[in-house]
C-alpha cells in the first residue's frame, strides 16, 4: 500500500491531532483521487481539533480521520465509471456527502439533507497529499484560478448561498456583523453582486481585519469607537441597512444586526454560534424584520463557484494571510485560535 502524509485527528480529546503516515486512499469506480495542492483551515477544523461537544454530537467523527474540508488540487486518478473529467484537471470539492435520496436533496436543498457526512469530519478530508472523493462532489476550476484561491471555494459557496437566500438586490445597503474570513467574504461577494455601500463591523482588537475590509472597498466600523447603528442611520437618511449578514455567531452580533437593519429588512444568520441569544421578538414584528437562517451550500451554489472565484480573485486574495506547509498544520490551527491572520492555507 502506498503511503502519504496527512494531518489527522487521532485521539478523542482537545488537541490529539498529528501529522502522520496514512495509506493513499483506494478509489471506487465512481470516485476520483485528487492530489491536494492547497487546503484552508476553517473554524470547523478548530472545533474538531478542540473536540468540541457540539461537533462530536453532530458529526460523530470516527478516529483517526484526516481533517480538512476546504481544498483544491489536481485529478490524479479517475475511477473506472467516472465521466466528464480528465487526469490533471484543476478541481475543488463540495465536502458535504449529501444522500441524494431524501426529500431535501430531491428539492435541491442538499445543505440540509437528512444524512450528510462531511469530508474532514466523519470521512477522511483534504489535509493530506491525496483524497478520494465521489465524482458527484468534484467541481472543475477555471485554469486561471490559483490553488490557494481554489481552496476558498468552500467558503465562497457558503457566501453564494447566503446571498441567494437573502435575495440581495443591486444597490442594497449592506452591513456585515463581524470581520473574520466569513465576514470579509460576505463583504466581497456583496460588492461583486452589485450592492451599494457595504459596512463591516469589528471590535477594537480587529484593527487589522477592519483595515482589510477597507481595502476591499467596504466601510469599516470599529464598535468600540463608534455606534454601528448610528453610523448606518446617518448614511442611509435614517433608514438602516437593507440587508445584514451576521457572520460573528455571537449573541451581540445578532443584536447588533437587528439594530443595523431597516424596517422590512432582512438579516442573514450565517455565524454558527453556540450560545443562546435573547431577542425582543416584538422588535421583529413591529419592524417586520426577517431573520433568515443559512447553512452551507447546495449543488447549484457549487456550480457557480468557479466563475465567482475568477471574478472576485483579486479581493479574495486579501483573505489569505498565511501559506504554510501541511506538516505545520498544528501551528496553523494555533495561529487561528489566537485570531492571528485570516485564512491560513496549508500546502502539502
Ligand atoms: Zn469551512
Ligand atoms: Zn439527502
pLDDT tens across 157-200, in order? 999 999 999 999 999 999 999 999 999 999 999 999 999 999 99
CATH code at 60? Answer: 3.90.180.10
pLDDT tens, 193-245? 999 999 999 999 999 999 999 999 999 999 989 999 999 999 999 999 999 99
Residue 341 has pLDDT above 90, yes or no: no
Phi, psi of 181 (to 5 degrees): -55, -40
Ligand 2 mean position to 113 CA, how many Å?
4
Q: Which helix (H) or strand (E) holds 18?
A: strand 17-23
- Indicate whether 116 and 226 sit together in one domain: no
Task: Say how many domains are in the chain.
Answer: 2
Strands (E), 136-183: 138-140, 174-177
Find out whether 70 and 39 touch, Cβ atoms under 8 Å.
Answer: yes
Tally Cβ neighbours within 10 Å of residue 288.
Answer: 11
Residues present in the chain in total: 348
Whether the per-residue pLDDT at 284 is higher than 90: the answer is yes
Instruction: Look up 47 and say whether it is catalytic.
Output: yes
Residue 42: partners with Cβ closer than 8 Å, 6 or more residues away: 69, 70, 154, 155
In the predicted model, is pLDDT for residue 334 greater than 90? yes
Are residues 64 and 176 both part of a single domain?
no
Choose, from 44, 92, 173, 201, the residue flagged as catalytic.
44
Cα gap 14→33, rounded to integer Å: 30
Residues whose Cβ atom is located within 5 A of ion ligand 2: 98-99, 102, 105, 113
Same domain, 127 and 36: yes
Instruction: Catalytic residue, from 47, 173, 201, 294: name it.
Output: 47
Short-list 60, 34, 109, CA closest to 296? 109
DSSP assignment string, 191-234:
HHTT-S-EEEEE-GGGHHHHHHHHHTT-EEEETTTS-HHHHHHH
ipTM here: 0.98
Compute, in angstroms, the gap from residue 257 CA to the centroid of ligand 2.
Answer: 32
- 272 versus 262: the higher-pLDDT residue is 262
Q: What is the phi-psi region of residue 186: left when phi exceeds 0, alpha when psi lies from -120 to 50, beta otherwise? A: alpha
Same domain for 146 and 59:
yes
Amino acid at each position: 500500500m502506498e503511503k502519504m502524509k496527512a494531518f489527522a485527528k487521532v485521539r478523542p480529546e482537545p488537541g490529539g491531532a498529528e501529522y502522520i503516515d496514512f495509506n493513499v486512499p483506494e478509489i471506487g469506480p465512481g470516485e476520483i483521487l485528487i492530489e491536494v495542492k492547497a487546503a484552508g483551515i476553517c473554524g470547523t477544523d478548530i472545533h474538531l481539533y478542540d473536540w468540541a461537544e457540539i461537533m462530536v454530537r453532530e458529526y460523530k467523527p470516527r478516529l483517526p480521520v484526516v481533517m480538512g474540508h476546504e481544498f483544491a488540487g489536481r485529478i490524479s486518478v479517475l475511477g473506472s465509471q467516472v465521466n466528464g473529467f480528465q487526469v490533471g484537471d484543476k478541481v475543488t470539492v463540495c465536502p458535504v456527502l449529501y444522500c441524494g435520496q431524501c426529500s431535501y436533496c430531491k428539492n435541491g436543498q442538499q445543505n440540509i439533507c437528512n444524512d450528510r457526512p462531511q469530508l474532514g469530519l466523519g470521512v477522511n478530508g483534504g489535509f493530506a497529499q491525496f483524497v478520494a472523493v465521489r465524482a458527484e462532489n468534484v467541481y472543475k476550476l477555471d485554469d486561471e484560478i490559483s490553488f490557494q484561491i481554489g481552496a476558498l471555494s468552500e467558503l465562497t459557496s457558503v457566501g453564494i448561498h447566503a446571498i441567494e437566500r437573502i435575495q440581495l438586490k443591486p444597490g442594497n445597503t449592506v452591513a456585515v456583523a463581524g470581520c473574520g474570513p466569513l465576514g470579509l467574504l460576505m463583504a466581497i461577494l456583496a460588492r461583486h453582486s452589485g450592492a451599494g455601500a457595504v459596512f463591516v463591523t469589528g471590535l477594537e482588537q480587529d484593527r487589522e481585519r477592519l483595515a482589510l475590509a477597507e481595502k476591499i472597498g467596504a466601510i469599516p466600523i470599529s464598535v468600540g469607537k463608534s455606534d454601528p447603528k448610528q453610523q448606518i442611520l446617518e448614511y442611509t437618511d435614517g433608514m438602516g441597512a437593507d440587508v445584514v449578514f451576521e457572520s460573528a455567531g455571537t449573541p451581540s452580533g445578532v443584536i447588533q444586526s437587528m439594530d443595523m437593519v431597516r424596517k422590512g429588512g432582512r438579516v442573514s444568520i450565517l455565524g454558527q454560534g453556540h450560545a443562546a441569544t435573547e431577542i425582543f421578538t416584538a422588535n421583529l414584528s413591529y419592524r417586520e424584520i426577517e431573520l433568515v437562517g443559512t447553512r452551507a451550500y447546495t449543488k447549484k451554489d457549487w456550480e457557480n463557484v468557479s466563475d465567482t472565484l475568477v471574478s472576485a480573485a483579486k479581493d479574495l486574495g486579501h483573505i489569505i494571510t498565511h501559506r504554510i506547509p501541511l506538516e505545520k498544520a498544528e501551528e496553523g490551527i494555533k495561529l487561528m485560535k489566537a485570531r492571528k491572520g485570516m485564512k491560513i492555507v496549508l500546502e502539502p
